Chains A and B, each alone.
Chain A
């Protein structure tokens, strides 16, 4: 599906301000991650969205068939498929190395792997570099206040502005 200009429905879990929003993103010409990284827009439009409080993540408290997610307030989002969660340019670059990381955002601690072209990985560029989100692979997001609640995804895009702690293993 990558690069083909036709509509595809992508399911993703968006986490913002204590809520889990399971939504359907209608992918037309641009990938979900491309929309998220686009600095000229402030929102992501979802076709169908089901809202759950993160303390009761299986309970659906609201449903709306047209929903806007405010990007500056989005903590992170997860997709189960690798290709659905990456930017177009991230589909290339097979020589990239993976480094394990630990990240905290409001209500969650996130573990996973980060892609880097550098031989010796330092987290600094990831926090300072331009670009609103950090891409994490093989993500596990554990609820801070309810550690039994765990979300997993092939890809997570984490809002750089929301990161409180960025941990990495020293080489």
Chain B
């Protein structure tokens, strides 16, 4: 059961919070009337969240927060400062002391309960993120250990196709960032399959001097010779920047491409073009998972619905990702679920820094691992790897 610690010298306030939170939620509430008692309780019961008053006799709330952050077993807990000192300077002081949030008294209990809920979610995400990072580090060690193992055991482990028939929903951005995160887990190859103008290379700050168009010009060219390498270790088969007179791949070309490139990497990420011709359909059948990317505006949701019907033969391997590419209000996850008749695997929040990252040619997953879109991407990978493991 989730434990909430409340530290407040105002006994009426303490009793009221204990009673209302206890009544309206399933949390177990521990109440303490001063800082030293609160610290003792925190170290002993290690609650998930602490609500701390600032103005208390003896140890002030700021000192309590600093002590909690200094102690390893309470360092990661969620802390809300709840005080009658509600000025902007007090908020800054609370955050500087190490609190996650500052709320001023008098507070509406519903608002406090809502904030506790969202902080619990944030902390859970943070925990997952740490797990993924730790798992990635372990995987890197395993990867090194696996160098001696036969190549075919690791090669072509997972192929992901990111796809949308509606342009502008961020398929390429997600593909580049997902591949960048996957590279931390194992050798990854990103295929930019755009027939018109591919942007993966530019997003990675690479010059597409060689691309798959060279193969179409000369079908004897081995695909491996056309790969570009990023400093992170991620490799890319770039698309030409302009449409070519040679057209696009045939099914046979795709077979050849996969036969040549799959054994060279553990993870293959396909940045699919927004078309559904026979070759694109064939590519989707070759992926372990089809990540159908959708926006949440009505036309995007409608396209996603229609696409799901069109690729119904991949239904069991198709997973939905909602990618929010604009700021402002958006429909709730529940509303999107109702519209699509299915739950999304993950929702990627709007990330303001994305435009800048694209301009700079540095994927956010590498340049700003704390960016809001990175944690959901890591979670996506975790979920996909778990599903793949289960399937095998």
Contact = CB atoms under 8 A, between A and B. Distances in A.
B57 A63 contact: yes
A80 B86 contact: yes
Contacts of B88: 150, 152
A48 interface: yes
A50 B60 CA distance: 10
A16 interface: no
Contacts, number: 42
Contacts of A60: 54-55, 60, 62
A46 to B, nearest CB: 12
Nearest to B94: A58
Interface in A20-65: 22, 24, 48, 50, 57-60, 63, 65
A37 B85 CA distance: 24
A149 B106 CA distance: 23
Interface in B53-110: 54-55, 57, 60, 62, 84-90, 92-93, 104-106
A24 B105 CA distance: 12
B104 A58 contact: no
A24 B57 contact: no
B89 A151 contact: yes
B8 to A, nearest CB: 12
B85 to A, nearest CB: 5
B89 A149 contact: yes
B87 A11 contact: no
A13 interface: yes
A1 B40 CA distance: 38
A81 B104 CA distance: 12
Contacts of B62: 58, 60
Interface string B30-65: 000000000000000000000000110100101000
Contacts of A24: 84
A47 to B, nearest CB: 10
B84 A58 contact: no
Contacts of B106: 81
B382 to A, nearest CB: 40
Nearest to A48: B55
A80 B106 CA distance: 10
Contacts of A149: 89
A57 B84 contact: no
Contact of B87 (A50, A63, A151): A151
A24 B83 CA distance: 12
A57 B55 CA distance: 13
A65 B87 CA distance: 22
Nearest to B61: A60
Contacts of B92: 58
A95 to B, nearest CB: 30
B95 to A, nearest CB: 11
B365 to A, nearest CB: 35
Given A11-B84, A13-B87, A22-B84, A58 B93 contact: yes
B90 A50 contact: no
A150 B90 CA distance: 10
Interface in A129-157: 149-152
Interface string A64-75: 010000000000
Nearest to B105: A11
A58 B90 contact: yes
A23 to B, nearest CB: 9
Contacts of A58: 62, 85, 89-90, 92-93
B372 to A, nearest CB: 28
Contacts of A81: 106
B224 to A, nearest CB: 58
Given A50-B85, A58-B90, 15 more contacts: A9-B10, A22-B55, A22-B84, A48-B55, A50-B54, A57-B87, A58-B62, A58-B89, A58-B93, A59-B93, A60-B54, A60-B60, A63-B55, A151-B87, A152-B88
20 contacts: A9-B10, A11-B85, A22-B84, A24-B84, A57-B87, A58-B89, A58-B90, A60-B54, A60-B60, A60-B62, A63-B57, A65-B57, A80-B86, A81-B106, A149-B89, A150-B89, A151-B87, A151-B89, A152-B87, A152-B88
